[in-house]
Chains A and B, each alone.
Chain A
Amino acid sequence: MSLQVVGCSHHRTSIAIRERLAFRRDQTDGALAQWRRSFQDVEGVLLSTCNRVEIYAARQSGPIPTVEEVGGFLARFHQIDPREIVPHLFVSNDEAAVRHLFSVAASIDSMVLGEPQILAQVKQAYQAAAERDSTGPLLHMAFQAAIRVARRVATETAIHQRRVSVPSVAVADFARQIFERFDDKETLVIGAGAMAEETLRYLRDEGARNVTIVNRNDQRAAERAIEWQGRARPWNELHDALADADLVISTTGAGRPIIALEEFRAIHAKRGQRPLFILDLAVPRDFDPAIGQRPEVYLYSVDDLEAACQNNRVLRDKELPLATRIVDQESSRFMTEMYHRATGPVIQQLRDGWQKPKDEELRRLLNRLPQLDLHAQEEIRQSFDRLVNKLLHPPLESLRDESRKGVPHGLLDALARLFQLRD
């Protein structure tokens, strides 16, 4: 019974190598089919993301493909020289492989600690392999356990709760603390930067519907309005748009603030004390920082958000030891279960071997005592069952204890010889 992972990741392999080994989604079917042809009886799951390409392999009995063989498989599929890639591949076996899988699924092996996409990618990889009959009992067990462990890490640690990108922090950590809902709010986008687009995507996910775009270039504003499903307003209506807005994302390339404090005072008077959330993502800043001192105005610059992201990264890192402890604990529990499963056939034979004489003796005893009523017969039957279970308990416990260290081959052999168990 073996389990192995061979692959490369962002930890020690450059993107130049990773992108040559990566599998596009439409290549996965072919790759899994080729895997099954190349390595019969070897279960395989292919995990390919922008940060890693990994092949998880498992086999009930017999040798598992070596790193060179897996490297050869990857090289053949991508039609590259195996010598170029094999040195970049890492390999982990059994418990280390399980720990690696659990760490990946729980996102503690990711480039951005705690990023949420990896679990979905692990699930997709497992599902794809299961649909192509490339998995078997061992990898089913391992991947289902990995998904469970990832959920446990997410529940018991705060590793996923902290956002680490500027747009996600802006929306989840600040905008959501101000507004309960976004579908009735007016979002104003000033400029047309990429960061604004990404922030808008997060706001859309939260339910934002009413988007207004203002740009110095009216044509550009109209284009963005179509693209972002909003409406464009001319630049000279900027102050009116600010008076109407609840959330503002500003990303112009202006050399000096486009809204000074004096200008904002007039806008503020029209707003009737409604809270205003301003994300000033421009450098240099679009809004005079003094505007943030006005009541009911919550103004955040890129630096403010970066500081919050950095703070979140530190807090995520603090959660790492707890997440690692969970992964270690679950890995060793998984291995114990896996090794214990290997003892299943011997346990079954042992039970069957004791069951047969028990049944014979019970039948003989009951034949000799025909005067017993049904209740007495049932009592005797239960007593025999208890006796067998008590006699079997010590050897089964010993097997379970030994399974913590690996498949207990010595003990299994001894049991087989002592009780004359046959395959």
Chain B
Amino acid sequence: MLAHVHIFCFVACYLVALVLELSRLWFRSGLRGIAMLGFVAAGWVAHSAFLYRSAMENGIGAAAGSPLSSYRDWLLLAAWVLVMIYFYLACYHPTTHFGVFLLPLVLCLIAAAQLWADPRPFPREPASRVWGVIHGTSILLATVTMFVGFAAGLMYLEQAQRLKSKHVPLMKLRLPSLEWLQTVNSRTMLASMLLVAIGVASGIVLKLIALGQNIPSVPWNDPVILGTLAMFGWLLLHVIFAAFYRPIRQGRKVAYLTLASFLFLVIALAMVLFVNTKHGGVAADGDCKLRIVNWNHPPTTPSGGRS
């Protein structure tokens, strides 16, 4: 039965939920909220089933791959966590229109996974498996946190713009208060810095283990490493600066800073998707990663890995 779960199933559900969310701008309906949550829940279940199948096929079931370690799975997992966050917010703040900002981000992540991401899993290396999980999970959660921060930053700017222009807040597109959004912005910045720090530290440990075992590892000047370090540097600077200079934690500044952080994330993701990198495996053929991937017939190497 899981074999029939296709990406289309959950993308369609999220699209319908987004259309329902957008329809709030035009008309009222008593049943729409339930329908919206129903579609998101159904999509999330299909999404979970898809990831489970992928884990079984490419990781647990395969000899050499780590489960859910491919860039494709990683992006899908990020979207999956983001949907959970949206579902929580939609349940606890049913009158606020988070979906208008969060669901497009979910769809972007899925589109990136579908169109550009490499579906081959990272090779399985028992000595570094724990550190690999820590590394992947922390960077995944940091990505999700920065996506949430980005959405909160956009909402902040929109809400602030409305209030400055003295327009009565639209009942059709309700947004949280500036104070709430500012808190979310500040916390996501701090949380993403900590998570990226864990990700970078565990990445260094992975590299040291590989060096100790004389296994080929990702070079320090790999574009993905450089992109991630640049993002970490930016986040660290921001957090240190904010600790000593309070105004940076207030108002529009924090919103602009979360948007800037998101830009760093986009650059790091672009490195992963479009630049020839050895991160997560070794691209021996040296080909550019930019290609359309057919998920029903993902390209595989004899070893099941990428090297």
Contact = CB atoms under 8 A, between A and B. Distances in A.
Partners in one complex: yes
Interface in B129-174: 159, 162-164, 166-169, 171
A273 B159 CA distance: 17
B204 to A, nearest CB: 36
B179 A312 contact: no
Contacts of B246: 272-273
B281 interface: no
Contact of B163 (A156, A177, A307): A177
Contacts of B253: 273
A178 B178 CA distance: 5
A181 B168 CA distance: 19
Interface string A281-299: 0000000000010011010
A2 B250 CA distance: 65
Given A156-B30, A180-B179, A274 B250 contact: yes
Interface in B160-215: 162-164, 166-169, 171, 175-180, 183
Interface string B238-254: 00000000111011110
A337 interface: no
B252 A180 contact: no
A189 to B, nearest CB: 21
A275 B250 contact: yes
Interface stretch (A26-34, A168-176, A228-236, A374-382): A168-176
Interface string A200-222: 00000000000000000000000
A176 B159 CA distance: 12
Most buried by A among B166, B169, B175, B178: B166
Contacts of B183: 180
A308 B168 CA distance: 6
B249 to A, nearest CB: 8
Interface string A255-284: 000000000000000001111000000000
A158 B250 contact: no
A197 interface: no
A352 B218 CA distance: 90
B167 to A, nearest CB: 8
B28 interface: yes
B89 to A, nearest CB: 14
A380 B159 CA distance: 71
A123 B251 CA distance: 45
A108 B299 CA distance: 66
A311 B170 CA distance: 11
Contact residue range for chain B?
20 to 34
A162 B169 CA distance: 10
A304 interface: yes
Interface in A129-165: 155-158, 161-162
A175 to B, nearest CB: 9
Most buried by B among A155, A156, A174, A311: A174
A300 interface: yes
A173 to B, nearest CB: 5
Nearest to A297: B164
A179 B180 CA distance: 8
A295 B251 contact: yes
B83 to A, nearest CB: 25
Contact of B177 (A156, A179, A292, A300): A179
Nearest to B251: A296
A173 B174 CA distance: 11
B179 A169 contact: no
B30 A275 contact: no
Given A178-B177, A180-B180, A173 B168 contact: yes
A180 B30 contact: no
Interface in B12-62: 28, 30
A163 to B, nearest CB: 9
A177 B251 contact: no
Contacts of A181: 179
Contacts of A307: 166
B163 A158 contact: no
A156 B28 contact: yes
Interface string A10-37: 0000000000000000000000000000
19 contacts: A157-B28, A158-B171, A161-B171, A162-B171, A173-B168, A173-B169, A178-B177, A178-B178, A180-B176, A180-B183, A272-B246, A272-B250, A273-B247, A273-B248, A273-B251, A273-B253, A274-B251, A308-B167, A308-B168
Interface of B: 28, 30, 159, 162-164, 166-169, 171, 175-180, 183, 246-248, 250-253
Given A273-B251, A273-B253, A275-B251, 12 more contacts: A155-B30, A156-B28, A157-B28, A158-B171, A176-B177, A273-B247, A273-B250, A292-B164, A295-B251, A295-B252, A296-B251, A308-B166
Closest 3 CB pairs of A and B: A273-B250, A273-B247, A180-B179
